[in-house]
C-alpha cells in the first residue's frame, strides 16, 4: 500500500487560510506529520535518536537532516523537497514511541535469542534449535537499514544446494560446515606456532562468530592477522566480509602516519552513521 497526499478543494482553501495566520511552514509540517502517522509511526531510542517506521515497507528510517533516505521518503509521500519541508525533530519527539532500534544484529541474553536483520524488511530469530523469519517491527524489534549491506536471503537447510569448497588447506579439507570450509579452511596458518593448525583455525572462527554479539560483549576483540605478503590475510578478511555484508564489502589499507590515523577515524565515523 502506498500513501500519497491528496487534498480536496475545501481542505485546500482551509489550509490556505490557516497558512496566512500561522505561516505556511507550520501548516506543511502539520499535514505532513498527520500523513506520516497514517503511514507508520515515530520511534526514539534511549538516546533520543529519532526514527520513522513505515508500516507497508517494514522499514526504519533515521529522522535527521543528514538522512537522504528520510528526505526521499518525504518527497515520495508529499512531493515536497527538503527546502520546503519543515517537519521538525521536536515534533517527532512528542509522537515518538520509546523503543530500542538495532542495526544488523541484536542478542537478547535473557531469552537466548540472536536477531539477524536481512536488510529487506525481515529479520531472523535464532535460539540454537530453530530459525524463524519475522517482519521488521514484530515483537517490538526494530532494525534500521544499513546502506553498506546488501539484502540477505535465508535458505532453509533442506533447500540448500550441495556446494564443494575449493582450495581448502590439506590439513582441514572437508572439516566443518560450509562457513568453516569457505573461510577458515582456506586461510594460511603458522605451522611453527605453539597452537596447532586446528587451534589457530578455531580461534579465528571464534572471533568471527563473536561479530553478531557486538552489542552484548563488554570487551570487543580486535583481529590481528600477521604474516608475509601473499599469505592470504587480506583475502581471508575480504571473503568473510563479503559473505556477511555482500559484494560491496572490501578491505582497504591505511597509512601508518598521522594522516592515515585521521583517515581511519573518519572512516569509522562514516560507518557509524551509515
Lowest model confidence (mean pLDDT) among 24-33, 94-103, 201-210: 24-33
**106 within domain boundaries:** yes
Band of residue 115 on the pLDDT scale cut at 50, 70, 90: very high
Cβ pair 271, 148 in contact under 8 A:
yes
Average pLDDT estimate for 266-271: 63
Please check whether residues 194 and 260 belong to one and the same domain. Answer: yes
Band of residue 135 on the pLDDT scale cut at 50, 70, 90: very high
Lowest model confidence (mean pLDDT) among 37-41, 74-78, 79-83, 265-269: 79-83
For residue 137, the model assigns a pLDDT of 93
Counting the structural domains of the chain, the total is 3
CB atoms within 10 A of CB 91: 18
Q: In which residue are the cell numbers 540454537 written? A: 128
Which range of residues forms the domain containing residue 125?
Answer: 101-143
Residue partners of 235: CB distance under 8 A and separation at least 6: 186
Residue 25 pLDDT exceeds 60: no
Please check whether residues 178 and 113 belong to one and the same domain. Answer: no
**Which value, in Å, is the radius of gyration of the alpha carbons in the chain?**
24
Q: Which helix (H) or strand (E) holds 260?
A: helix 258-272
Lowest model confidence (mean pLDDT) among 11-20, 87-96, 143-152, 159-168: 11-20
Beta strand 142-143 with 101-102 is parallel
Beta strand 113-117 with 59-62 is unpaired
Query: Cα separation of 60 and 142, whole Å?
Result: 7
Amino acid at each position: 500500500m502506498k500513501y500519497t497526499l491528496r487534498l480536496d478543494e475545501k481542505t485546500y482553501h482551509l489550509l490556505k487560510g490557516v497558512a496566512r495566520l500561522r505561516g505556511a511552514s507550520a501548516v506543511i509540517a502539520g499535514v505532513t506529520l498527520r500523513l506520516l502517522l497514517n503511514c507508520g509511526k515515530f520511534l526514539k531510542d534511549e538516546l533520543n535518536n529519532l526514527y520513522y517506521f513505515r508500516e507497508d515497507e517494514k522499514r526504519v528510517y533515521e529522522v535527521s537532516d543528514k538522512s537522504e533516505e528520510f528526505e526521499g521518503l518525504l518527497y515520495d509521500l508529499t512531493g515536497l523537497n527538503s527546502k520546503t519541508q519543515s517537519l521538525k525533530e521536536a515534533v517527532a519527539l512528542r509522537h515518538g514511541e520509546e523503543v530500542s532500534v538495532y542495526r544488523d544484529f541484536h542478542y537478547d541474553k535473557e531469552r537466548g535469542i540472536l536477531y539477524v536483520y536481512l536488510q529487506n524488511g525481515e529479520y531472523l530469530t535464532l535460539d540454537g534449535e530453530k530459525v524463524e523469519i519475522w517482519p521488521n517491527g514484530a515483537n517490538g524489534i526494530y532494525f534500521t537499514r544499513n546502506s553498506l549491506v546488501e539484502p540477505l536471503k535465508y535458505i532453509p537447510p533442506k533447500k540448500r544446494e550441495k556446494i564443494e569448497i575449493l582450495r581448502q588447506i590439506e590439513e582441514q579439507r572437508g572439516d566443518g560446515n560450509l562457513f568453516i570450509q569457505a573461510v577458515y579452511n582456506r586461510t594460511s596458518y603458522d605451522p611453527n606456532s605453539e597452537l596447532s593448525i586446528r587451534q589457530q583455525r578455531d580461534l579465528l572462527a571464534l572471533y568471527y562468530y563473536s561479530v553478531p554479539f557486538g552489542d552484548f560483549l563488554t570487551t570487543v576483540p580486535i583481529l590481528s592477522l600477521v604474516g608475509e605478503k601473499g599469505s592470504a590475510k587480506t583475502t581471508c578478511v575480504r571473503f568473510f566480509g563479503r559473505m556477511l555484508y555482500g559484494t560491496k564489502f572490501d578491505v582497504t589499507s591505511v597509512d601508518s602516519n598521522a594522516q592515515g590515523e585521521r583517515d581511519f577515524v573518519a572512516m569509522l565515523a562514516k560507518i557509524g552513521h551509515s
